[in-house]
Amino acid sequence: MTDHKNETQRRRLAPDQKIAILKAHLVDKKPISDLCDQHGIQPGQFYRWQQEFFERGGLVFESRGEKPSTHLERKVTALEEKLARKNEVLSELMEEHVALKKSLGES
């Protein structure tokens, strides 16, 4: 009699564990079947991890500078500051215009 609980129970592995399993195959040349048996995963799951690893692996090599969201936040802040300065200048000009009209006797 086999223990079906162990066969149907899904294992949740952390990202670093998944990478270690992929590395064991890709670098250390361990057979996929041995790794799957050892870690209680299906070969199909291993291949999905491998596919995702290669599809998203390019993100590691992208610009290590600031994240795009950080760049956008800085840009928005700069534009808000510029708009506030323009509003201040416009306000001063309108005050001067009103004062000039009053000094010339216009309403």
What amino acid is encoded at 84 in this protein? A
- The stretches in the chain having pLDDT less than 70 are 1-11, 63-68, 107
What per-residue confidence (pLDDT) applies to 8? 44
62 vs 51: CA distance, rounded Å: 19
pTM of the full structure: 0.51
pLDDT recorded at residue 62: 73
Q: For 55-65, how does the pLDDT look when each residue is reduced to its tens digit (9 = 90+)?
A: 888 877 776 66
Nearest to 15 by CA among 42, 44, 49, 51: 49
Cα atoms found within 13 Å of the Cα of residue 84, Cβ hemisphere only: 6
What's the CA gap between 29 and 81, in Å, rounded?
57
Say how many C-beta atoms besides its own lie within 10 A of residue 20's C-beta: 13
The answer to whether the CB of 53 falls within 8 A of the CB of 81 is: no
- 42 neighbors 33 (Cβ within 8 angstroms): no
